[in-house]
Amino acid sequence: MAEEAKWYVVHTYSGYENKVASNLEKTVENRQLQELIQEIRVPTETVTEITEAGKRKEVERKIFPGYVIVKMIMTDESWYAVRNIRGCTGFVGPSSKPVPLTEEEVARLGIEKRSIEVSYQVGDSVNIVDGPLEGFIGVVEEMDVEKNRIRVVVSMFGRDTPVELELDQAEPV
């Protein structure tokens, strides 16, 4: 296959996201469509809710209720397989014509993890190369590679101010 797989958004009945995803996975397995339909995701986030009794509870919540995101190579066969899953109402796009997500949209949604190699660590001085504090120099206080975040302490107006940045917004001095 010369064509590259792209991410598409599939509209489902609300509350049927997980059912559509699992049925689609079974269909892919049964029809041997692993080459065409590569990944199926229901984007979720973990949220801490406080109950009426004042107790904290971790809850898994869907980020986009009513949608499933599928990485696939668009062919008549793959389109048909996805479109005919019970609970699926069609692809997102004009007149249900599938439109793939752009690279920027995929990055913004955090669907695919991009690994960023950095040549600095906690305690190093870094130059901020992007954002409102571009050109400032600070010291790395904390790094979270999983979440693609760093905390840099910048001295502004004689005060140390902690700033949250993405890993690629800073470079070593």
pLDDT value of residue 67:
92
- The reply to whether 70 and 96 lie within a common domain is yes
- The reply to whether 78 and 141 lie within a common domain is no
Taking alpha carbons only, the member of 48, 46, 45 closest to residue 63 is 45
Q: How far apart are CA 24 and CA 8, in angstroms?
A: 14
Give the chain's domain count. 2
Q: Domain of 149?
A: 125-172
Q: Tens digit of pLDDT for each residue in 22-79?
A: 999 999 999 999 899 999 998 888 778 887 888 888 888 888 899 999 999 998 999 9
* Residue 32 within any structural domain of the chain: yes
For the chain, list the strands marked E by DSSP.
6-12, 37-41, 44-50, 56-62, 67-72, 88-91, 125-128, 137-144, 149-156, 159-166, 170-172
- The reply to whether 139 and 76 lie within a common domain is no
Q: Tens digit of pLDDT for each residue in 90-109?
A: 999 887 688 998 888 887 77
Confidence (pTM): 0.63
* Residue 17 within any structural domain of the chain: yes
DSSP letter at 3 equals S
pLDDT at 138 over 90: yes
- The reply to whether 85 and 39 lie within a common domain is yes
